[in-house]
Amino acid sequence: MHGPMFDPEGRYARHLILPEIGPVGQATLNAASVLVIGAGGLGSPVLLYLAAAGIGRLGLADDDVVSLSNLQRQVLHGTARLGQSKTASARDRLSDLNPEVLLETHAIRISPETAALVGGFDLVIDCTDNLAARHLINRACVAAAVPLLSGAIAQWEGQIGLYAPALGGPCYACTFPETDPPPPAQSKGVVGALPGVVGARMALEAIKFFTGAGQNLLGRLWMIDTLWNEERLMRMHRRDDCPVCRARGAGC
């Protein structure tokens, strides 16, 4: 399972002794690059756990500053960081957690001009807070043939899907077409521990994706209602008439 140089007190020791990860899986994680878009509720656990897991190059895009009302759920940041950029706050915390990770921070809002950033990574993780950004990121990921792990929360509930037309799955717009009428405005209330549940699951799915452990979420939509303890894993399908991935002919 591991060689004579194995250090049981080493940083990744508990990964190295896990059969589904082991030295090969850990080396894969150490060589992987991930772009996390949004360093808020979901981005906090995603970034913390992926940095801790030793993802080789961890990109982070967010143009926001840390505000007091963030701290009820955005546990990456802290009171001493109020008013500072989330990228600077994240850099301090993540480089302390794991200095071996190459951090790449972008204090930008994702836009048609900046979306091409996704092309330089092995996996993009969408932790943004609005549908327009989600569609923009999906289009950029389909265009660059980069797999997209997209997670979202609302109040007590969450959804996670892995979208990768280049790997044979649907894209985000196959399931949630851009032409749909906008959903009704909802309360921004959210229980503070919810992004912990959903974001930690996203980080875990990213680790499964890279190491090939078990079954990843390709073409599946995981949904959880933590208020009423309902959890489902739904099968998604590619749409032959999807204007986003069909237009790319990305095996879709």
Note the residues at the interface with another protein (CB under 8 A).
38, 40-43, 126-131, 134, 151-155, 157-159, 175-176, 180-184, 186, 188, 190, 195, 221, 223, 225, 227-228, 230, 232-237
- CA–CA distance from 234 to each of 41, 105, 124, 145 (Å)? 24, 34, 21, 23
Contact 245, 171 (CB under 8 A): yes
- Beta carbon of residue 212, minimum distance to another protein (angstroms, whole number): 24
Q: Which is nearer to another protein, 235 or 249 (CB)?
A: 235
- Beta carbon of residue 1, minimum distance to another protein (angstroms, whole number): 36
Contact 77, 93 (CB under 8 A): yes
Q: Which is nearer to another protein, 14 or 232 (CB)?
A: 232
Contact 209, 203 (CB under 8 A): no
- Beta carbon of residue 159, minimum distance to another protein (angstroms, whole number): 5
Q: Which is nearer to another protein, 16 or 160 (CB)?
A: 160
Contact 130, 188 (CB under 8 A): no
- CA–CA distance from 32 to each of 53, 105, 186, 188, 209 (Å)? 11, 16, 36, 34, 11
CA angle at 182 for the pair 196 and 136, rounded to the nearest 5°: 65
Q: Which is nearer to another protein, 181 or 249 (CB)?
A: 181
Q: Which is nearer to another protein, 131 or 213 (CB)?
A: 131
By DSSP bridging, strand 220-225 and strand 230-235 are: antiparallel
Q: Which is nearer to another protein, 25 or 219 (CB)?
A: 219
Q: What sign results for the dihedral spanned by CA atoms 97, 100, 101, 106?
A: positive
Contact 61, 114 (CB under 8 A): yes
Q: Which is nearer to another protein, 29 or 127 (CB)?
A: 127
Element (H, E) at 33: strand 33-37
- Beta carbon of residue 105, minimum distance to another protein (angstroms, whole number): 18
- Beta carbon of residue 229, minimum distance to another protein (angstroms, whole number): 9
- Beta carbon of residue 37, minimum distance to another protein (angstroms, whole number): 9
- Beta carbon of residue 57, minimum distance to another protein (angstroms, whole number): 22
Question: For the stretch 83-115, what's the b/e string if a residue is b when 16 or more beta carbons lie within 10 angstroms of its beta carbon?
Answer: eebbbebbbbbbeeebeebebbbbeeebeeebb
